[in-house]
Amino acid sequence: MNKLLVIACIVFLNSCNHNRNITENTIVLSNVPKNLSTSDLIPIDSVVQKKDIFTLQDSNSCFLGEISNVCESKDSYFIVSNGILYQFDKTGKFNKRVGQKGRGPEEYLSIKDLFFKESNQCIYILDHLSRKVLKFSSNGEFINKITPLKGVNDIYFSYFFSYNDKIVLYTPTNSEKMNLICYNEFDSTAKYISKSEENIHTNEAMIKNFFPFGIEYSPMVYNYFNDTVFTLVDSKLIPTFQIELGDLKIQRSNLIIDIDKPPVPNSSKELFIKNIVKAGNYIFIFYDITHIQDKMWTNFMALYNIKEDRYYSNINIKDTADDWASLNGGNCIVFQGNEKNTLIMIKYPHTLSETSSHLNFENDSNPILIKYWIK
């Protein structure tokens, strides 16, 4: 009994050392490499209410490769793989391909982003190369093409999201100030919410530095280059909290490529944000850090408990029944669910451990989709 009490006290004190209340509205990730042995471990049922697991169906018309984006409606999942949009029902059964590749007005060249809008039950596709948005019904039928900036041929959009009755589009920049354009679908007008005065250099590499998350009525956005998470209120960006990267932040000067000089290997530690998702009372931050313990990339997940105003900079939400379904920074891709308390994770069969062999997932089968309902 005394031994159990001592162990319980050690676990409690250990947890207190590794999670922190937000101080000055800041989540600190810069100290993670110095504290690798102090990651937090919590049971999945303390965060997750339930989960659904199924394999996305194979067919002659649908053999999925790497999945780049996922969104959902009430009845369907819309999944982008190899630049093609597929529609599945809520059991993972393949339904149809949505649209087709091409240069026509109803076709797309490259799907950079997508979202489903509940108010009109339509799916929107951002075609990066064609600088246009395509709108489809929930059944995958083409409705119309949207050109947010007509007559402007030098602006490409990287990401977009739904905001009330509008569409907010992001144009790439490696600056502290974001390029955000708010497009009104009803009167076809567009205006800047935020605009950077800095131009991208012709020899400047781009990284993923913009992350919208949350529900469309109160979306949040994170800009990697100024550490700030903003909430969009009345078409204005309101600073909400910060994600502090410190010396792990990629310096813009390191993104300039000198074509006259051979590339110099970078051995310094750098932090790359992969995605941010808000579900229920939590914000999940998925990120990688380079050059840790002789590994080129190491995966991590941070968790912010909004209700308790407490965060974990490095955490594993452990599923003891199905370890491979744990929520952590591991080999997975996570997307925002369409309900305010859900998130979607994609796993590939070849990444699963031998302990999951009882699930009968074949290595050459389509990816596995897991939907979590978060408390």
The DSSP result for 216-274, as a single string, is TTS-EEEETTTTEEEEEETTEEEEEEEEE-GGGSPPGGGGB--TTSPPPP--S--EEEE
pLDDT at 48 over 60: yes
The SS3 assignment for 316 reads strand
Higher pLDDT, residue 115 or 267: 115
pLDDT at 254: 77
- Structural domains of the chain, with CATH: 21-374 (2.120.10.30)
How far apart are the C-alpha atoms of 182 and 167, rounded to whole Å? Answer: 6
How much is the average pLDDT of 274-293? 93
How much is the average pLDDT of 155-177? 90
pLDDT at 247 over 60: yes
pLDDT at 8: 39
Q: Which two tokens stand for residue 65?
A: 């490769």
232 in Cβ contact with 221 (< 8 Å): yes
Q: What is the mean pLDDT of the chain?
A: 85
Higher pLDDT, residue 312 or 24: 312
How much is the average pLDDT of 77-94? 94
Q: What's the pLDDT band for 343 if we cut at 50, 70, 90?
A: very high
- Closest by Cα among 216, 226, 172, 166 to 191: 166
How much is the average pLDDT of 299-328? 91
pLDDT at 12 over 50: no
Q: Which two tokens stand for residue 369?
A: 């989709």
pLDDT at 315 over 50: yes
178 in Cβ contact with 203 (< 8 Å): no
Q: Read off the pLDDT of residues 175-224 as tens digits, 9 standing for 90 and up.
A: 888 999 999 998 999 999 999 887 777 777 778 889 999 988 889 999 99
pLDDT at 257 over 80: no
- Closest by Cα among 102, 197, 188 to 149: 188
How far apart are the C-alpha atoms of 334 and 100, rounded to whole Å? Answer: 25
pLDDT at 13: 37
How far apart are the C-alpha atoms of 217 and 155, rounded to whole Å? Answer: 27
- Does the reported pTM lie above 0.95? no
Buried b (16+ CB within 10 A) or exposed e, 220-239: bbbbbbebbbbebeeeebee
How far apart are the C-alpha atoms of 84 and 63, rounded to whole Å? Answer: 11
Higher pLDDT, residue 108 or 153: 108
